[in-house]
């Protein structure tokens, strides 16, 4: 990035910060602040250990310094401006989750597709936060990062004092790490006659019991019931010779078991009953650990992604002294706005339109390499060399290092 490009970007960021609506964190005087400057690029040097007492001080700083990136601490400190972490005196921290497309498996190459994928991850995480952990809606703040992901800020007294190991456990839970079948099933003894004749007491007990999922309508049990129900339904859509091919390789899935699964899979009422009760109606003539085998199949390593765990960046959540982007600031790697979202806005949020703040007036740039971008509902393809593009696209390309300002 040459000097003219840096000057241009700083001037545009300055214009923005004069009038920007900044979503400042709560307990402002207790937060540490950090900044990355355009002046030092391509080096990334963080200037931190800053503190502000009032909103006006922050705006004045942003207008005068025009930083490329703006961060505040997730932590609360007694002395946030102290020059060392030890001197700051940590008082607690919000619970933060970071979902970044760079950390997703099989992330697509297209920026637009990448953003769609990470938004789906954000919706998964929201389900965990509200359904599994029971965080009230007013304690959760969702934020588009301005780049390739989303942040969730949890401001709740119950989590403020959590240490790093405890926060890692939360990440492990939402990511499905360490799930074991025995956490989710229990043996249920059925009412009625357990059998007659010469059967032993043990055999009669086996016949009068089932393995069932605990609390099938909540948490991971709900996800397991949904996965198994979807799995059974999808298997029935396959060619008959291909159905349950993998199950047939597992000990205990004989012809009778497969036959029972087929009967259940074609019966919507039985599948709905399973979702509600966590119990598959197999009858008493097949192995009673069949459901346990299905659960194990669902949570084994090569299937766990089908249960919709949320792909969260663990180091961010575990770091109780982390700096996080300021909502309302600009992302120096894209020129787009870091946007605070209501929870009901996430699904319909379109980053490449809704987070774009600069105009469409033409700006001359020198493109360093061919580039494709989708912004404001249009696809823009630029070739190497001098050309004019809309201001928002010019700023994006300059921030990405794909173009320089002007024709020289």
Structural contact between residues 289 and 251, judged by C-beta atoms closer than 8 angstroms: no
Our answer to whether residue 100 is catalytic in this structure is yes
In three-state secondary structure terms, 146 is coil
- Long-range contacts at 219-223 (CB < 8 A, ≥ 24 apart): 219/131, 219/132, 220/132, 220/176, 220/179, 220/183, 220/184, 220/307, 221/184, 221/278, 222/131, 223/307, 223/308
Our answer to whether residue 98 is catalytic in this structure is yes
164: closest CA among 279, 352, 316? 316
Half-sphere exposure of 379 (CA within 13 A, CB side): 5
Catalytic residue among 23, 313, 319, 344: 313
Catalytic residue among 98, 156, 172, 239: 98
Half-sphere exposure of 165 (CA within 13 A, CB side): 0
Residue ranges in 266-403 assigned as alpha helix (H): 268-277, 290-299, 314-318, 351-354, 391-399
Concatenated DSSP letters for 207-255? HTEEEEESSTTSHHHHHHHHHHHHHHHHHHTS-GGGTTTTGGGSTT--H
Distance (Å, whole) CA 56 – CA 68: 19
Which residues have a catalytic role annotated?
Answer: 98, 100, 313
């Amino acid at each position: 990035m040459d000097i003219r490009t840096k000057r241009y970007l700083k001037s545009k960021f300055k214009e923005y910060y004069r009038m920007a609506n900044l979503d400042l964190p709560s307990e402002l005087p207790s937060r540490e602040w950090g900044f990355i400057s355009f002046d030092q690029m391509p080096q990334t040097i963080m200037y931190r250990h800053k503190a502000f007492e009032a909103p006006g001080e922050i705006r004045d700083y942003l207008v005068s310094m025009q930083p490329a990136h703006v961060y505040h601490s997730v932590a609360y400190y007694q002395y946030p401006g102290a020059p060392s972490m030890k001197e700051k005196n940590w008082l607690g921290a919000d619970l933060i989750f970071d979902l970044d497309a760079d950390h997703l498996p099989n992330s697509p190459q297209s920026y637009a597709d990448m953003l769609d994928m990470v938004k789906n991850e954000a919706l998964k995480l929201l389900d965990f936060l509200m359904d599994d952990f029971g965080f009230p809606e007013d304690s959760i703040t969702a934020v588009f990062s301005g780049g390739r992901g989303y942040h969730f800020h949890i401001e709740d007294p119950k989590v403020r004092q959590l240490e790093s190991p405890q926060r890692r456990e939360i990440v492990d839970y939402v990511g499905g790490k360490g799930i074991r079948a025995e956490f989710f099933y229990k043996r249920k003894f059925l009412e009625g006659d357990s059998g007659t004749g010469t059967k032993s007491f043990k055999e009669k007990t086996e016949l009068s019991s089932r393995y069932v999922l605990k609390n099938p309508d909540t948490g991971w049990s709900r996800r397991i019931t949904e996965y198994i129900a979807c799995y059974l339904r999808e298997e029935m859509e396959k060619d008959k010779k291909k159905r349950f091919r993998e199950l047939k390789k597992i000990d205990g899935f004989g012809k009778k078991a497969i036959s029972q699964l087929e009967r259940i899979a074609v019966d919507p009422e039985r599948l709905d009953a399973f979702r509600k009760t966590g119990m598959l109606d197999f009858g008493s003539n097949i192995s009673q650990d069949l459901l346990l085998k299905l659960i194990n199949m669902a949570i084994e390593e090569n299937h766990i992604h089908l249960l919709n765990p949320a792909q969260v960046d663990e180091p961010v959540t575990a770091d109780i002294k982390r700096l996080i982007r300021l909502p309302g600031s600009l992302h120096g790697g894209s020129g787009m706005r870091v946007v605070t979202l209501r929870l009901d806005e996430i699904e319909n949020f379109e980053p490449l339109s809704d987070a774009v703040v600069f105009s469409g007036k033409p700006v001359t740039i020198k493109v360093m390499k061919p580039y494709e971008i989708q912004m404001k509902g249009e696809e823009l393809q630029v070739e190497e060399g001098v050309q004019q593009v809309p201001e928002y696209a010019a700023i994006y390309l300059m921030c990405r290092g794909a173009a320089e300002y002007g024709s020289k």
